[in-house]
Amino acid sequence: MKFSFSWLKEHLDTHLNAIEISEKLTSIGLEVESFNDASLAFRDFIVAEVIEEKKHPNADKLKLCLVDTGKEKVDVVCGAPNVEKGMKVVYAPPGSIIPVNQMKLKVSKIRGVESQGMMCSEYELGISDEHDGIIRLDDSVKVGSSYAEISGMNDTFFEIGITPNRQDCLGVNGISRDLSASKSGNYLRKEFSKIDGSFDSPVDVKIEDQVMCPAFASRYIKNVKNCESPDWLKSKLKSIGLRPISALVDITNYVMYDQNRPLHVYDADKINKNIIVRSAKDKETLKALDEKEYALSKGMCVIADDMSPLGLGGIMGGESTGCSENTTNVLLESALFDPINTAKTGRKLSILSDARYRFERGIDPLSVIRGIDQASQLISEICGGEFSHTVVSGSIDDTKKSFEISVNKINKRLGLSIEKSEVIEILSSLGIECKEAGEKINCVIPTWRQDIDCEADISEEIIRIKGYDFIPQSNIRSSKKINESILNYRQKNLSKAKRYIASLGYNELVTYSFANSKDCNFFGNIDNLRIVNPISEDQDILRPSLIPNLLNAIKKNQSRDIENFEIFEAGSQYTSSTPGDQFNSVIGLKSGINKKKSWRHAEQQYDVYDIKNDIVNLIDYLIPNQKKITLDDESPEWMHPGRSASIILNKKIRLGYFGELHPRVIKSFKIKNKVNAFELFIDQMPESARKLNSKVDINLSEFQSVKRDFAFVVDQHIRALDLEESAKKVDKDLIRDVEIFDIFEDESLGPNKKSMAIKVTIQASDRTLKDNEIQDICSKIVKSIEKSTSGSVRS
Amino acid sequence: MQNYKDLEKNIEKDFSSVSSLETLQEFRLSYLGKKGKISLLMKELSSLDADQRKENAEQLNILKGKILELIDTKDNELQELILNEKLETEKIDLTLNVESKQGTIHPITQVIDEVIEIFGDLDFFVAEGPEVETDYNNFTALNTSENHPARQMHDTFYVKTETDGMPNVLRTHTSPVQIRSMLEQQPPIRLIAPGKTFRCDNDQTHTPMFHQVEGLVIDEESNMSHLKGCLEIFLKSFFETSELKMRFRPSHFPFTEPSAEVDIAYTRKGNQLIIGDGKEWLEVLGCGMVHPNVLRNVDINPDQFQGYAFGMGIERLAMLKYGISDLRTFFDNDLRWNKHYGFQPLNTPSILRDLS
């Protein structure tokens, strides 16, 4: 909401200056968003007269003018088509700052001729978009006078944010009323002279639905002249960013901003007999004043004549009955419309208008008659005309809300101890009538405060006017603990996981919870993940997996010449768009070069084993004790079928996957290198009833250990685990460790064969093993592996 | 006896020509080896009578001791020389570097962890709720009826599922967690709820997804002065300053009454914002006393219980504290940005040690 200081002063007798008013506004909840002292911005601009005008010697479109500034006569080069001799203009001398671009004007040569300053357009002064020509001032203005003064720009302009509850401050009148409550001056209630009607309105207004439209006041005015508005009115509207149109339209806009009272004026000659306020019918249409055609539907409130809708009640008038310069007879409307219905209709049709904005927030019912009176007075002054009697169809409900409040409870809510007398003083200043009833006060709420409904609302009014600064600061630390724990098991795991993974060299990314459905073919059914109104086509579903977003991140970074990636994200994935159908996943990706080729070593690419190590270590970090991790071949579709596996915890819980991403996936994202990934379903981590802190006993043998190497020729499909398990089961106590240290394939081994070498560590906990014991174990190991793998030991 | 004097001279003479570990070894063998001069003389002693044997043995042992000492000293000397020569050849170029990989924690995670640390110390537990919400939890239960003008300010994303005939939404704020928590738990309640929130808005200063943290305290006595006290501790701890000018301004949220917005003072020094003091104000959060209608909606008696709630933007906190100037960069996933603004994984916020 924009307004000027001078406009405010029409409603408020104040001794405060603009800065003080600005601070006061913010402190009572009318937050000043911008504050502009135009008298400073326009300080340098003066009224001047063009006394000579001739063609520029070196340019066809430029003119060379001699300008009288009141003090001196200067040469000014001007390109405006409308400049002419004798014209009064706005002159900006060298050194002044042009508001629209904040450029400081200098004496400069334009096509070889020196120009001392410039003559300005409204655009250059930042007061409108008009830049086709320079401003032509009225002939009566005095050369040399300050432009700010003669234009009414010698003013301060405020723009305040009005929260949705404060409908009463959507007019300058209401803002002044609120300021006066905060002791910023005396509220001056404007009174309007009643213009007596001399005949009965020939247009009959009938309300079919009194819920949609409780009241409709109207007045017929004959023989008006819809002229251009006088300067004072035009400059008022311009000062708040509105474009003057014609006197009738300008007057309704002015009343709306002055009194928060939306009005409408119909060209009465275009109304087909009578007015009916009714619900729209399906398939009816309306071409509104914004020149758009709207398809109406049942339940929307229309103002119609006998033929068709003329306007949308409380939202926007129609084009067909709009006023033009030829309008001579008009119907003036001042009505009440239901806030909810207005909001619904406006939302359905996506119409944002000043009227809708006000009606959906609730309008003071008492403004109906005041509005029609104020507009009548202005129309009579500016446009003339003969007025009918004012007719009110429906009824204006001016019942005031009332309820009891307790001063103690208000103090308990605010943490203050305000005396009852002060409470009454503040409330009275806001127009709330107070009647004492013991400790309690009965409050009668004025009709303009539609937002005040209960004691809590009153507490806000009190502290708002008294000042939030009066609230002390109390200690909130309590000796009694409320919560057993701050983070639950799952939250702790997620937090620990993030920092652990980062410690392994991964960079944490946060990607949008949306995904592009086209990227998600690999990730199951996505139909139930669609967003009805996505922000863009490539973010049209909830992400079924973090993978597509992470791959897009790789792709994007690839285009910035980054080719090696260690990235992860921990966040939610969705299984449907039903609340709760989401779970946390931790996904890590490694791609590209692990170790660069350098003076120290050869290049090494990331592979599946790097990522396997990371997820196994991560699980080990999160569940250090009493767990068994195994692999199985099952893995998601988006992974390479031969290079991926699931991780199974304690034979039951599928905790996640790791592997190389499917080449098809990589290709579809246009990624250069192989990508290795792990996914941990962190919410699946089982929580034990008691945290298992104690570790299993450790057996630290002091006796000598023996290491023996073996190599076997086995079939291609034999896995490392097969050899390890086969060796270990020979003697679980004595065989401490089995490690694969070499694998190679060679034609000499035979078709589909490979050689695998293991190093076995043998150690007893109670004695040094004798040669024959060791020999015995070794031959058992050979036998066991040969049997289980159908392979043979290499000698 | 004369013999020994000569012998001593010979020893000194022979020793003076020792110049390497090899010649030192030769020297040792020539006197102390099996057939060395001293060893042979020692053997001859057995043919002498006891007195003479004793006297000669004494002399020989003195000589032997002297030789051993000479050898030992020389050996050390030579070893030292050799080592020094070796060290000289082992000199390497230490200006060479090897690669190291440092992972990072995203600023959003870091700031949420800081917030949790501060409020955890004040006995607020961390509550959560789903990111897809019912219309009821996101709006209606929070005293924002279907046609409330405040709804329009939310630019809500809708999904295709419904609850009780109303389309579900992506939560526009973390406030529905208040509703879920109050339905689950009776007062006293002290919680914060950090998480993702969504609004259909995308420009210089808005991203369609962002993060908030919600706070809620419900008991029999918490009032606006506690709210002020709570936020003062939080803001001072978070911005790690003992001086912090704070301003409460009346505002409006449908689910709190009275409502306030909180500004903190700052000074601009070049590109940097000095938070805590100055003439300019920065809005950091919204808060208020929970509206009695909200309590009624979750079956908490507003005549017995009251409390406060607050909400703030994580990205905004991060931008102010860590000098990040553009909101959109948080989700750009430009690795250069992540490595620059990200945090070391061991930098876990701590009340006892350092918050950041």
CA A411, CA A459: separation in Å to the nearest integer?
A: 8
Contacts of B247 in chain A (CB under 8 A): 468-469
* pLDDT tens string A117-149: 899 988 888 777 777 888 888 888 889 888 887
- Please check whether residue A597 lies inside any domain of the structure: yes
Quick one: pLDDT at residue A398?
A: 87
* Element at A760 (helix H, strand E): strand A753-762
**DSSP-assigned letter for residue B171:** -
* Element at A784 (helix H, strand E): helix A771-789
Phi-psi region of B333 (alpha: psi -120 to 50; beta: other; left: phi over 0): left
B107-341: CATH number: 3.30.930.10
Residues A167 and A256 reside in one and the same domain: no
3-state class (DSSP) for residue A10 = helix
Q: How many CB pairs under 8 A join A and B?
A: 260
Distance from CA of A512 to the nearest CA of B (A): 6
> Is the distance from CB of A89 to CB of A48 less than 8 angstroms?
yes
CATH number of domain containing A82: 2.40.50.140
CA A31 vs CA A166, A260, A744, B256, B311: distances in Å: 12, 18, 76, 18, 19
* pLDDT tens string B73-122: 999 999 999 999 999 999 999 998 888 888 999 999 999 999 999 999 99
Contacts of A491 in chain B (CB under 8 A): 126, 128
- Please check whether residue A663 lies inside any domain of the structure: yes
Q: Which two tokens stand for residue A255?
A: 């009343």
Q: Do B122 and A476 touch (CB under 8 A)?
A: yes
Residues A575 and A438 reside in one and the same domain: no
Backbone angles phi, psi at A76, to 5 degrees: -130, 130
pLDDT > 90 in chain B, percent: 71
Residues A138 and A217 reside in one and the same domain: no
CA A413, CA A47: separation in Å to the nearest integer?
A: 58
As a whole number of angstroms, the longest Cα–Cα distance in chain A is: 132
Instruction: Indicate if the pLDDT at residue A78 is higher than 50.
Output: yes
Q: Which one, of B300, B310, B216, lies nearest residue B259 by Cα? A: B310
Distance from CA of A311 to the nearest CA of B (A): 22
Q: Do B105 and A502 touch (CB under 8 A)?
A: yes
Contacts of B342 in chain A (CB under 8 A): 507-508
CATH number of domain containing A558: 3.30.930.10
Q: Which two tokens stand for residue A388?
A: 């009918």
Interval A166-184 mean pLDDT:
94
Residues A328 and A415 reside in one and the same domain: no
CA angle in degrees (0–180, nearest 5) for A96-A97-A103: 125
Phi-psi region of A324 (alpha: psi -120 to 50; beta: other; left: phi over 0): beta
Q: Do A510 and B330 touch (CB under 8 A)?
A: yes
Strands in A433-437's sheet, in edge-to-edge order, are A402-406, A440-444, A433-437
Q: Which two tokens stand for residue A547?
A: 């993978």
Strands (E), B119-269: 125-126, 132-133, 158-163, 166-170, 189-198, 209-219, 246-253, 256-269
CA A350 vs CA A291, A292, A347: distances in Å: 14, 11, 5
Residues A504 and A640 reside in one and the same domain: yes
User: Beta A753-762 vs A735-744: how paired, if at all?
Assistant: antiparallel
Contacts of A511 in chain B (CB under 8 A): 331, 333
Cβ neighbours around B4 below 10 Å, total = 15
Interval B299-323 mean pLDDT:
96
Contacts of B291 in chain A (CB under 8 A): 456
CATH number of domain containing A261: 3.50.40.10
For chain B, counts of helices (H) and of strands (E): 12, 11
Interval A184-207 mean pLDDT:
92
CA A575, CA A566: separation in Å to the nearest integer?
A: 27
Quick one: pLDDT at residue B153?
A: 66
CA A217, CA A609: separation in Å to the nearest integer?
A: 82
Residues A222 and A237 reside in one and the same domain: yes
* Element at B234 (helix H, strand E): helix B224-238
Q: Indicate the residue type of B34.
A: K
CATH number of domain containing A177: 3.30.56.10
Q: Which two tokens stand for residue A440?
A: 């309690």
- For residue A264, what are the β-bridge partners? A333
- Please check whether residue A195 lies inside any domain of the structure: no
Q: Which two tokens stand for residue B83?
A: 């080592």
- DSSP letters along A712-752, please? EEEETT--HHHHHHHHHTT-TTTEEEEEEEEEE--GGG-TT
* pLDDT tens string A308-341: 999 999 999 999 999 988 999 999 999 999 999 9
Contacts of B345 in chain A (CB under 8 A): 498-503
In this complex, the residue of A31, A361, A560 whose CB is nearest that of residue B149 is A361
Please give the residue that has the higher pLDDT: either A99 or B258: B258
* pLDDT tens string A405-426: 999 999 999 999 999 999 999 9
> Is the distance from CB of B120 to CB of A485 less than 8 angstroms?
no
CATH number of domain containing A720: 3.30.70.380
Backbone angles phi, psi at A438, to 5 degrees: 70, -130
Measured over the CA atoms of residue A140, residue A143, residue A149 and residue A152, the dihedral's sign is positive
CA angle in degrees (0–180, nearest 5) for B228-B229-B232: 85
Quick one: pLDDT at residue A127?
A: 74
Distance from CA of B125 to the nearest CA of A (A): 4
Instruction: Indicate if the pLDDT at residue B312 is higher than 90.
Output: yes
Q: pTM here?
A: 0.86
Q: Which one, of B317, B309, B316, B314, lies nearest residue B292 by Cα? A: B309
pLDDT > 70 in chain A, percent: 100
> CA neighbours within 13 Å on the CB side: how many for B107?
27
- Please check whether residue A196 lies inside any domain of the structure: no
Q: What is the ipTM of this complex?
A: 0.87
Residues A26 and A96 reside in one and the same domain: no
Interval B285-305 mean pLDDT:
97
In this complex, the residue of A31, A508, A574 whose CB is nearest that of residue B249 is A31
Q: Which two tokens stand for residue B227?
A: 């709210």
Q: What is the mean pLDDT of chain A?
A: 92
Instruction: Indicate if the pLDDT at residue A39 is higher than 90.
Output: no
Q: Do B132 and A31 touch (CB under 8 A)?
A: no
Split into its structural domains, chain A has a count of 6
Q: Which two tokens stand for residue A587?
A: 């996904």
Instruction: Indicate if the pLDDT at residue B2 is higher than 60.
Output: no
Backbone angles phi, psi at B246, to 5 degrees: -130, 145
User: How many residues appear in chain A?
Assistant: 795
Quick one: pLDDT at residue B98?
A: 84
CA A310 vs CA A300, A313, A423, B234: distances in Å: 13, 9, 48, 57
> Is the distance from CB of A465 to CB of A28 less than 8 angstroms?
yes
Domain that holds residue A347: 205-394
Q: Which residues touch A74 (CB under 8 Å, ≥6 apart)?
A: A66, A67, A116, A117
In this complex, the residue of A27, A456, A577 whose CB is nearest that of residue B291 is A456
Q: Which residues touch A737 (CB under 8 Å, ≥6 apart)?
A: A759, A760, A761
CA A223, CA A230: separation in Å to the nearest integer?
A: 19
Q: Indicate the residue type of A224.
A: V
Q: Mapped to the 3 state alphabet, what secondary structure does A590-638 carry?
A: EECEEECCCCCCCCEECCHHHHHHHHHHHHHHHCCCCCCEEEECCCCCC
In this complex, the residue of A483, A507, A509 whose CB is nearest that of residue B190 is A483
> Is the distance from CB of A619 to CB of A606 less than 8 angstroms?
no
* Element at A108 (helix H, strand E): strand A108-110
> Is the distance from CB of A91 to CB of A47 less than 8 angstroms?
yes
Q: Do B157 and A534 touch (CB under 8 A)?
A: yes
Quick one: pLDDT at residue A471?
A: 95
Q: Mapped to the 3 state alphabet, what secondary structure does A318-360 carry?
A: ECCCCCCCCCCCEEEEEEECCHHHHHHHHHHHCCCCHHHHHHC
Instruction: Indicate if the pLDDT at residue A241 is higher than 90.
Output: no
* pLDDT tens string A551-567: 999 999 999 999 899 99
CA A308, CA A229: separation in Å to the nearest integer?
A: 31
Interval A609-619 mean pLDDT:
95
- Please check whether residue A699 lies inside any domain of the structure: no
Q: Which residues touch B36 (CB under 8 Å, ≥6 apart)?
A: B28, B29, B30
Burial class of residue A755 (count of CB atoms within 10 Å of its CB; 0-12, 13-18, 19+) = middle
Q: Do B226 and A476 touch (CB under 8 A)?
A: yes
* Element at B226 (helix H, strand E): helix B224-238
> Is the distance from CB of A615 to CB of A656 less than 8 angstroms?
yes
Phi-psi region of A397 (alpha: psi -120 to 50; beta: other; left: phi over 0): beta
* Element at A490 (helix H, strand E): helix A489-503
Quick one: pLDDT at residue A559?
A: 92
Backbone angles phi, psi at A591, to 5 degrees: -150, 145
Distance of alpha carbon A733 from its chain centroid, rounded? 65
Backbone angles phi, psi at A384, to 5 degrees: 70, -155
Quick one: pLDDT at residue B1?
A: 47
